[in-house]
Amino acid sequence: MKPHTASLINAVTLIALSLWGYFSSETPSMTALIPTVIGVILLLINKGVKAENKVIAHVAVLLTLIILLGLVQAFTGAMGRSDSAAMARVGVMILTTIMAMIFFVKSFIDARKNRAAN
């Protein structure tokens, strides 16, 4: 899978699941919309990632890493509340975010190997 595809899947997942969590909550918190904002930004810069723009790809990786750290915190909070629905939603977001990170790192390693070979 290409990094832009993994990032697109991650962006859509972040948007959909965080909106679901926000609107299904009896006491919604604005912090639940942080993954939505990051997902929208990732969606907007996906064309640059697909075009293999280095700066945009690095911005996407940074945002992906930041949201991963935030999602771990959210997962811990959901566990503390024993909220299985939130744990499932955040767990899926964590999985797609890790998947995107893996494909980004793999593409950076491959690009470095290609530059060294040339």
pLDDT tens-digit readout, 47-84? 999 998 999 999 999 999 999 999 999 999 999 999 99
Query: Tokens 């744990």 identify what position?
Result: 87
For the packed helices 34-44 and 54-81, what is the interaxial angle rounded to 10 degrees?
160
Contact status, residue 107 vs residue 53, Cβ threshold 8 Å: no
More confident residue, 117 or 84: 84
Whether 116 shows a pLDDT value over 90: the answer reads no
Beta-carbon count within 10 A of 70 CB: 17
| Domain limits, the chain | 3-117
Of 25-29, 30-34, 106-110, the one with minimum mean pLDDT is: 25-29
